[in-house]
Amino acid sequence: MDVPVAALDLAQPLAGRTVLVTGATGYGVGSGVCAAVSAAGGKLVLNGLDEESLRPVLHRYPGSVGIVADISDPDDVRRMMAEATEQCGPVTGLVNNAGVGLSKPFHEATEADFDRVFDIDVRGLWLVTRAFTQALLDAGRTGSIVHVSSVHARGTMPRYAVYAGAKGAVEGLARGMAVELGPHGIRCNAIAPGYVHAEQNLALIRTFSSDPEAWVDRHTNLEQVLPRLIEPVDCGWSAVFLLSEMSRCVTGQTLVVDAGLTTRLYTRTPEGSA
């Protein structure tokens, strides 16, 4: 649906729209997406793996709808989309946030490790996007899709080869889906966060650093161009832009939210030299 520039409410660019956010119960990027979509006036359909984890998020966003589903299960995905449409009417925004990581050298990873990452991060994303697209086409509606990728899709570090491969696939799907869906007025983009800070992340950082607090400090102040912590809502606002009419001519793109991490050629030293 095209909106005249004069009619676009920049304060609430998602007013009147319903957005499905998968993996909406976590503390990372998904929490920021939910906060930003709600602030932008969108109605939230929140996906989680169980009622218990959904309960506090539903309480945080009155009027939102929660649906328990495993996105790697095709039957669950079909049911989720049917329930979302039945309860909310046409869902015209989708944020594929659900995902899992893996911090392990690729040659030490098991087949189960590999399958888990690709089943959720790639196959699950495809299943949800397929169901969402079919619902839009059946209703004759346009819409917008945002995949959550990562800076690991284009540049990575030791122990992250499998995860980087999955996120590379996510961005490839975003481009391909954009090409195929463009004639139907459906856009597909991705956001690629850098390190998004949350206290819970320190446990993951311990898998490759003996001092996670120092790692976060160095990463923020020396590796990034902007010496500030990236918060979940920073990713959320980027998703809102891609979901809204503000980006109506943007598709097949990846918006990197990394405080300049992947822009720098060399890391600064504390003295400021290369």
Q: Which residues contact 49 (CB under 8 A, 6 or more apart)?
A: 25, 68, 69, 70
Residues with catalytic function: 163
Q: Match 């856009």 to its residue by tokens.
A: 187
CB 21 within 8 Å of CB 40: no
**Which H or E element spans position 162?**
helix 161-181
Spatial CA neighbour of 236 closest among 31, 92, 8: 31
State how far the alpha carbon of 259 is from the alpha carbons of 50, 167, 252, 263, in Å: 34, 19, 22, 9
Q: How far is C-alpha 38 from the chain's CA centre? A: 16
> How crowded is residue 141: how many other Cβ atoms within 10 Å of its Cβ?
16
Query: Is the backbone of residue 272 left (phi > 0), alpha (psi -120 to 50) or beta?
Result: left
